[in-house]
Amino acid sequence: MYDIKALYEAKSVENAIELMKEHPEAKIIAGGSDVLIKIREGKMAGCELVSIYGLDELRGVSMAEDGTLRIGSLTSFSHITKDPLIKKYIGVLGEAVDMVGGPQIRAIGTIGGNTCNGVTSADSASTLLAWDAIVELNGPEGVRTLPLEEFYLGPGKVDLKSAELQTALLIPKESYENCAGFYIKYGMRNAMEIATTGCSVNVRLSSDKKTLERLRIGFGVAGPVPRRARKTEEEFKGASLEAGLPEKIGDAVLKDVEPRDSWRASKDMRLHLCSTMTERAFIEAVSRCGGEIPEKA
Amino acid sequence: MIVGKSIPRIDAADKATGRTKYTDDLCAKGALVAKICHSTVTHALVKSIDTSAAEAIPGVVKVVTCFDVPEHMFPTAGHPWSTDPSHQDICDRHLLEKHVRYYGDDVAAVIAEDEIAASRAVRAIKIEYEELPFVLDPEEAIKDGAPLLHETFPNNILKHTEIKKGNLEEAVKEPGLIKFDDWFETPTVQHCHIENAICFAWEEGGRIHVTSSTQIPHITRRCVAQALGVDWGLVRIVKPFVGGGFGDKQDALYEPLCAFLTTRVGGRLVKLECQREETFANCRVRHAIRYHIISWVRKDGTLVARKVDCWSNQGAYASHGHSIIAKGMGSIPQLYPCENVEINGWTVFTNIQVGGAMRGYGMPQVTFAVESQTEDIARKLGIDPLSYRRKHVMPKGFVDGFSKNELYYDSFNETLDLGAQYIDFERKFKEYQNQTGDIRRGVGMSVFWYNTGVWPISLETSACRMVMNQDGSIQLQVGETEIGQGADTAFSQMAAETLGIPFEMVHIVSNQDTDVTPYGTGAYASRQTYAAGMAIRGCAEEFKKHILDVAYRYTRMQPYLMDIADGNIVRTTDGRVLMSLGDLSLRLLYDMEQNEHLTMEKSTQIKSNAYSFGCGFAEVEVDIPMCTVKVLKAINVHDAGTLVNPALARAQVQGGMSMAIGYALSEKMLYDPKTGKLLNGNLLDYKLSTFMDHPELEVKFVENPEPTSAYGTKALGEPPALPLAPAIRNAILNATGVPLYELPMRPHLLFKRFSEEGLI
Amino acid sequence: MSEKQYKLVTCKINGKERSAMVDVRASLTDMLRNDYSLTSVKKGCEVGECGACAVIIDGECYNSCIYLAIWADGKEIETLEGLTGENGELNDIQQAFVDETAIQCGFCSPGFIMEAESILRTGEIYTDEELRKLLSGHLCRCTGYDNILRAVKKAMNERNGKK
C-alpha cells in the first residue's frame, strides 16, 4: 500500500497536461519503478500522482519520413531491446537498456522515466547522449524539442516546465547513419545492478575504414549528470586507426570526466575505469563499424 | 533403505503450487499493523518523545515508547538456556531503548489500523536526543576512554578468552624458523533470507500467542516470556513454514516486542512485519572479525608456534556474543595441529547493529584467515598448496580433548582427491604461475572443519513424538524445524527407515507449536540430522518394540520373532506377513476389551559431537584493468558422513557455495563513518550473488559414516559456506601473484591492491 | 486527511473475469494477496529487487509490488495458483522444480516459476547463459541457482520435444 494522496489517470497526452495544470503539486508516474520506491521511502509520501501508464500512444518505436527514429517515452526497456528498428539502426541502445536491473524491471521501466528522473547512472542515458538524442516535450505551450544534453540541468533535475510531459526521444538519421557503438556498464555484479559508471562509445569510419570520421563518447556517473567527452571527441576526429589509439583515447577522456568520491566507489577508481572502459568500448565500436585497429608492433 | 535415497522433498509440490503457508499468509485480515520508530542517531540518550502528532493521525491506535516498556532486561540469543547463571546469555535488551546504541535502534512503536497510518505516525514521532560519541571499530572501542555502550562491560569488552597450549615463548627461539605475520579483515554481512522477519501476536485464554517465522520456537517462547516478565507457560509460539533463516531467525528478533504490543491493545491481533530495509538494518548480521596471526614455521612447513589475536565486532547488543569468535578460535589449533599456541579473542560492543548467528557461526571468518595464511606459507616455502595441506592438516586419528571429537577416517585426503581432480588442480596451478597480460587465470583451494551441534559447550537435546493413525501411518513431531533446508524430508526418511514403514506413511507435523511440539531447540549448529536423528531413532526403536509387544495380542507370536517391514508386522523366522500395521492400529484403537492409542514420545540428550570435513576449489579469471574476478569453476567436497538424501544434500551445499561466493567477492555492509548509518541496506546496494554471478556449482561427497551418529550423519547445513572465500582468494593469488587479506575481494579492493602492486 | 479513493478494477485473474473496488494506493501484490487470497505472490522487498512477487501480466512477467493495482484494469493476470491444474496437477515447470530439487525454503519459487513460464511460452530454445540472464531478476539465497537452471532447462527441452 503506497501513501498516495490522490491519483489521476490521464486518458491522453492532452488530458495529462490538463490534469497537471489542475493539480500543480502532482507528479507524473509512468512505469512507477522509480516513483513508487520514493513514495515507499517516505520521500514522496502523501503525494498526488498523474498516471500516464495507460497512454499507449506514447509506446513504441517508429521511423519518420526523414529517417528520424522516434522512441515513445513510455516504451519499456524490454520493448526497446526487442524492437526491430532499434536492432537495425542503434542496436547498442537495445543492449544498454537490456542491462537495466533485471527482466521484470525492464518490462516496467520506461525510457522516458529513465531520462526524466535526471539520474546520472541511468543505463539509457549515456547511449542516448552519445547518439545526440533529442527530447520531445509536450506542454500547455505546445511541443518543443531540445537536445538531451541540454535537458539535464543537474542531479535529479531536468528541463521539464510546469505541466510539461516528455513524449518521445528522437534520434535523427544523421546521428545513427553508418555508425556503430558499444556500451559498457560497470557494476559490482552482473544483474540487478545500478551502474558504478557506464561508458557508451560510437564511431563513424571513413569508407576505407582507416580513419575515424566521428567519435562520440557518453558517460554515466562521471559527473553529476550524464555527459559527453567533448574534448576527446574533437581531439580524435579524423584520427587514423593505428596501434595505440584506444589507449590514447582512454587517457584523453580523463580531461572530460569529473567523477566524485562516494561510498559506491572512489573518484580514483572511477577515473581509472573511465579510461579502461573507453578504451575497450572504442575497440568494440570500431570493430562493429567494420574497422580494425592494428596490433602494436 | 530409505535413508540414503534422493526422495523429492515432501513440501516441494506445495511450494511449487503456492499452497504452502508462511507467516504472513496465515495472519487474519484486519490485524493491527505495528511499525517501529528507529533512531536516526547512532549513540544517544532519549530525553523526551512527543507522540501527540502521531497519535492524532487517523487510524493510529496506540503509540508505545521506550518510557512505557518494562525496566528489566532480557536475552535474545537462540541458545539453549542454562540454569547456571554464569553460562546464561547476557540480558542487555529492553523492548524499546532509552539508550540508543546504534543507528536504527528501536525507540518507539506504533500500532495502527493500516500500514499507511502506521508509517505516517512513525514519521510524526518527535524524539529529543542527547547525542553521545560513537565507535564503530572493535579495536577502537576497546581503548580507554572510548564511548561506553553498556555500563557493566568496561572497555566495551563483552568477553575475552584465551587458548594457551605449550610454550610459545620458548618454541619460537628455535633457529631457522620463518615467521609469517599477517592481518586479516572480514566484513559484516547479512543473511538475506528472502522472507523477511515477521510475526503476529494476540491474546487468547489469558495467554499470549505468537506466530513467527523463526528457526527456534521453543527458545523464542522462553525469550518472549523473559522479555515480558511472565511465566513461560503463558506464551505460545507457532512456527509456520519459513522462507529462509540462515541463523538470523535463530534469535528472538521482534517476537518479544510484538507480544508486548498485543498486551497494550487488549490482546488484539498485531502484526509486525520487517521491511527489507529493517531486515538489513535491524535484524542480525555476521560478525566482522579481524585476525592477527603470527606463525612460526620450519622450512618443511611444520607449524611450530602460532599466536593469534582476534577481535569480533559485536555491535550494540550481546545476542550470540562471544560464542561466534570462540568457535573459530577453538578450530585454529585443531585444523592444523600446533603444539605451541596463544590465541586471544575479544568480543567487543560497538555502535553498529547486532551480530548474531549466521550460517557457519564464526567459521567462514577464521577459515578465510587461516587458509589464506596457509597458502602464503606454502607459497613462500615453495611447496605446492595441495601437498602442503595433505601433510600438515589434521591427521586421521586426531582427537580433540575437549569435545572428544575424532577424525575417524582419512577424510581430508579423500575429499582433496576429488576436488583436485575436478578442477585439475596440480596441472593448472603450475600452468597459471607467472602469467602476464590483462586477463589471467588462477586456481585455489581451501580445506575446512566444522563441529556438529553445541555439545559440550551447551545442552544438546531433542525430543520426538510418534502418533499412529488407524491406517498405520504416523504423525512425526520434533522441535527441530524445517526452514528450507529439507529437515522435514530427512526426518521422515529416518522415521520410516527405523520404524519399518513406507516413507509415504510418515506424516511430519511441519509447523511447530510450542503447546504441542515436544521440546527440541530448533534449527541451528547444523545439528538437525545429528541431534534430531538420535531422538527420532530412539523414539522409533522404542515405538517399534512397543508395537511388537502389543502385536503379540493379535498374532500370538513372541515379539522377538517379529519385525516391522514395509508397514507390516512380519515374522522374522520365515518372512511371513502376519498383519499390517494398519490392521493392528485399527483393531487396537477400537478394541472393546483393551484399547490403546499407539503413541511414543522420547526425549534424548546428546553427549557427543562430530567433526565434519572437506574442501573447496575454485578457478577464477581476473580482469586486471577492470579489477574484476569471475569464478569459472567451483567445487565443494564434503565428508558429512552418511547422506540421508543426496539430492537435498547437494542442493544445500550449492546454496552455501553461493553464499560463500558473495562473501568472497561482493557482500559487505557499509557504515557511514561520519554518522554510523548503514549505507547499503537493501537488495540493490547490498551485493548478494544473482543468477549471473555464478558458474555451475559442483558438489561431491565422501560418505564416511559418522560412528557416533544415529544415521551416520554429521554437519552439512553450515560448512558449505566455509571454503570458497579462501579458495577464491588463493586462486587470485595464483593468477596475479597478489595476496589479499580482506573480504570481500570486490573491485574496490582489487583496484587498491593492483595499484599498489603496479599492475594497473 | 483526504477521503480514500477507490477504483473498480476488472481484470482476468488466472483465467476468470474478476472485479473489485480497489484502493488506488494498493499495489498489485496487495490486491492479489488481500482481495483474492492469492498468497503465492510473496513479499520479499516491495521495491522490485527480489522478484518474489512476480506475476504474468498480458504475457510478460512483472514485479507486482511496484505495479499499481489500478493498472491491472483490463489486463490478464496470472499467478502461480493459475498454473496448477484444476485437480491440483503440477504443470511441467512446477514438476521440474520438484524433480530437480530446485525448491528449498520455497519463498522465491513462485516468482521463479512465473518467470520461467513467461520465458518458455516464447517457444524458443535458450542457452544456459541466456536463461541465466532471463532469470536474473529473481534472488534466491538457498539454492545457488544451479537446480533452478536445471529445472527450467528440463521443462524447456521437454516443451520443445527434446529430451
Mean pLDDT of A159-172: 97
Q: Is there a contact between A19 and A50 (Cβ–Cβ < 8 Å)? A: yes
Q: Is there a contact between A182 and A200 (Cβ–Cβ < 8 Å)? A: yes
Angle at A76 between CA C157 and CA C14, to 5 degrees: 55
Identify all chain C residues contacting B697, using CB atoms and an 8 Å cutoff.
144, 146
Nearest to B16 among C39, C90, C140 (CB): C90
CATH class of A58-174: alpha beta
- Measured from the Cβ of residue C43, the count of other Cβ atoms closer than 10 Å reads 25
CA C125 – CA C127 distance, rounded (Å): 7
The CA-to-CA distance between both ends of chain A, in Å, stands at 64
Three-class HEC string of chain A: CCCEEEEEECCCHHHHHHHHHHCCCCEEECCCCCHHHHHHHCCCCCEEEEECCCCHHHCCEEECCCCCEEEECCCEHHHHHHCHHHHHHCHHHHHHHCCCCCHHHHHHCEHHHHHHCCCCCCHHHHHHHHCCCEEEEEECCEEEEEEHHHHEEECCEECCCCCCEEEEEEECHHHHCCEEEEEEEECCCCCCCCCCEEEEEEEEECCCCCEEEEEEEEEECCCCCCEECHHHHHHCCCCECCCCHHHHHHHHHHHCCCCCCCCCCCHHHHHHHHHHHHHHHHHHHHHHCCCCCCCCC
Residues 49-68 of C with CB under 8 A from B: 49-50, 52
- The architecture in CATH of the region A177-288 reads 2-Layer Sandwich (3.30)
- Are domains A4-51 and A58-174 of this chain identical in fold? no
pLDDT higher than 90, residue A292: yes
Check residue B457 and give its pLDDT: 93
The DSSP H or E segment spanning C16 is strand C16-23
C-alpha cell at B36: 517501529
CB contact under 8 A, B194 and C50: yes
- Per domain, the residue ranges of chain C are 6-81, 92-159
- Measured from the Cβ of residue A213, the count of other Cβ atoms closer than 10 Å reads 15
Write the DSSP string, C45-82. Answer: -SSSSS-TTEEEETTEEEEGGGSBGGGGTT-EEE-HHH
Q: Is there a contact between B312 and B324 (Cβ–Cβ < 8 Å)? A: yes
Name the amino acid, one letter, at B619. Answer: E
Say yes or no: C30 contacts chain A, CB-CB below 8 A: yes
pLDDT higher than 60, residue B432: yes
The number of residues making up chain A comes to: 297
C-alpha cell at B593: 476389551
CA C21 – CA C15 distance, rounded (Å): 19
CB contact under 8 A, C84 and B18: yes
Say yes or no: C101 contacts chain B, CB-CB below 8 A: yes
Q: Which residue of C has its CA nearest to B241?
A: C105
Q: Which residue of A has its CA nearest to B694?
A: A190
**3-class secondary structure, B157:** strand
pLDDT higher than 70, residue C1: no
Q: What is the mean pLDDT of chain B?
A: 97
pLDDT above 90 as % of chain A: 99
Say yes or no: B87 contacts chain A, CB-CB below 8 A: no
CA A1 – CA B541 distance, rounded (Å): 53
Q: What is the mean pLDDT of chain A?
A: 96
Check residue C163 and give its pLDDT: 60
C-alpha cell at A137: 516535450
Say yes or no: C106 contacts chain B, CB-CB below 8 A: yes
- Per domain, the residue ranges of chain A are 4-51, 58-174, 177-288
CA C19 – CA A179 distance, rounded (Å): 51
The DSSP H or E segment spanning B756 is helix B747-756
C-alpha cell at A85: 528498428
Say yes or no: B114 contacts chain A, CB-CB below 8 A: yes
Identify all chain A residues contacting C41, using CB atoms and an 8 Å cutoff.
none
Angle at A187 between CA A186 and CA A189, to 5 degrees: 135
Residue position matching grid coordinates 573518484: A267
- Measured from the Cβ of residue B424, the count of other Cβ atoms closer than 10 Å reads 14
Mean pLDDT of B660-681: 98
Mean pLDDT of A96-120: 96
Name the amino acid, one letter, at B626. Answer: M
pLDDT higher than 60, residue A38: yes
Check residue C2 and give its pLDDT: 52
CATH 1.10.3720.10, applies to C6-81: no
Instruction: Note the pLDDT tens digit of each residue in B13-61.
Output: 999 999 999 999 999 999 999 999 999 999 999 999 999 999 999 999 9
**3-class secondary structure, B431:** helix
Residues 297-356 of B with CB under 8 A from C: none
pLDDT above 70 as % of chain B: 100
> Does the predicted interface ipTM exceed a cut of 0.95?
yes
Q: How far is C82 from chain A (nearest CA, A)?
A: 19
Instruction: Note the pLDDT tens digit of each residue in B127-166.
Output: 999 999 999 999 999 999 999 999 999 999 999 999 999 9
Instruction: Give the up-direction half-sphere exposure of residue B401: CA atoms within 13 A in the CB hemisphere.
Output: 3
Instruction: Note the pLDDT tens digit of each residue in B111-134.
Output: 999 999 999 999 999 999 999 999
Check residue A295 and give its pLDDT: 85
Identify all chain A residues contacting B687, using CB atoms and an 8 Å cutoff.
188-189
CA B303 – CA B299 distance, rounded (Å): 10
Instruction: Note the pLDDT tens digit of each residue in A132-152.
Output: 999 999 999 999 999 999 999
CA A125 – CA A123 distance, rounded (Å): 6
- Measured from the Cβ of residue B234, the count of other Cβ atoms closer than 10 Å reads 15
Instruction: Note the pLDDT tens digit of each residue in A147-164.
Output: 999 999 999 999 999 999
pLDDT higher than 90, residue A297: no
Say yes or no: B658 contacts chain A, CB-CB below 8 A: no
Check residue B690 and give its pLDDT: 97
Domains annotated for chain B, with CATH where assigned, are 12-132+191-282 (3.90.1170.50), 393-452+610-756 (3.30.365.10), 461-605 (3.30.365.10)
Instruction: Note the pLDDT tens digit of each residue in C125-150.
Output: 999 999 999 999 999 999 999 999 99
Give the DSSP letter of residue B519: P
Check residue A272 and give its pLDDT: 98
CB contact under 8 A, C63 and A104: yes
Give the DSSP letter of residue B232: G
Q: Which residue of B has its CA nearest to C97?
A: B16
Neighbours, chain C (3 or more CB pairs < 8 A): A, B
Write the DSSP string, B713-727. Answer: B---SSGGGSSHHHH
Check residue B675 and give its pLDDT: 97
CATH 3.30.420.40, applies to A4-51: no
In sequence order, what are the residues at sequence separation of 6 or more whose Cβ sits closer than 8 angstroms to the Cβ of residue B52?
none
pLDDT higher than 50, residue B387: yes
Mean pLDDT of B504-508: 98
Q: What is the CATH number of domain C92-159?
A: 1.10.150.120
